Amino acid sequence: MPLACRLFFCRPTHGFERRSSMQPLSIRNVSIGEGSPKIIVSLMGKNAAEAIAQGLAALEAGADCLEWRADFCENVHDVRSMALDAASLRSAFGDALLLFTFRSTPQGGQMELPVPEYAELTEAMIRTGAFDIVDVESWIGDDQVRALMAAAHECGVAAIISHHDFEKTPSVDWMVSEMRRFQDLGADIPKIAVMAHDASDTLRLLQATEEMGRVYADGPLITMAMGRYGALSRLTGEVFGSAMTFCAVEEASAPGQVDISLAHSLMEGIHSIHSR
């Protein structure tokens, strides 16, 4: 039995509901995949106190979801301590949506963990009951991904499977195929982030998003083109099919993130036009 299973059990959570194929995910009264993209702000504090301060500011600014970035945490190798911090975050943020992410260095994060330690930490955080959504990086291998999908669904936690490419934007076919593969592995929300070096890169990302949503998706997607050329992709999800977007309050967690107040304003304008 994995250590995470011995340390923790699935505490009661809000869980999530997908009403039918191609319908949004409803979590804590937030409908992911309906209307404007829901705004995620990353918490990058080195300890719980810093993360809580960042999160309260983000909620005040209008964030829909808070992402706890464990790769910034000074106690990340101590699973029990991380679980206590997770409980503190849940207490501080009340009914806000919480997403757990350990972002590995090649995927844009601050550090790397061996796959067994990554899996142990992620499963332990799933089983705390503090989080509504978990991000699982696809590189850890299909067997580990499936195991974490099973743990998440057992505990009523929605699961993202993610891939980040900081060098390029792959072909439309590759991006669609990868998101379909994530669905097959059990993702509730497939996520693809790529680097845009020009406008044509952003167009390919948007085309892949639209095709995936229209033809293959059985739930919401998260896609984005990173960098200044890709900023548009972070704002037009309601039109092309990306259900959530990452915004900055004080510090961006990835290149091309838009300030949360500007994002709110621009996405409200897009919504008013798109919903006519």
Vertex 66: Cα angle to 138 and 77 (nearest 5) = 60
181: its two tokens: 């593969």
28 is in an annotated binding site: no
CA distances from 276 to 52, 216, 239, 268, 269 (A): 39, 26, 12, 13, 11
- Reported residue count of the chain is 276
Active-site residue list: 164, 191
For residues 134 and 126, is the Cβ–Cβ distance under 8 A?
yes
19 is in an annotated binding site: no
170: its two tokens: 């792959």
67 is in an annotated binding site: yes
137: its two tokens: 């990086």
42 is in an annotated binding site: yes
234 is in an annotated binding site: yes
Backbone angles phi, psi at 171, to 5 degrees: -70, 160
List residues forming the annotated binding site: 42, 67-69, 103, 234, 253, 257
Positions at the binding site for 3-dehydroquinate = 42, 67-69, 103, 234, 253, 257
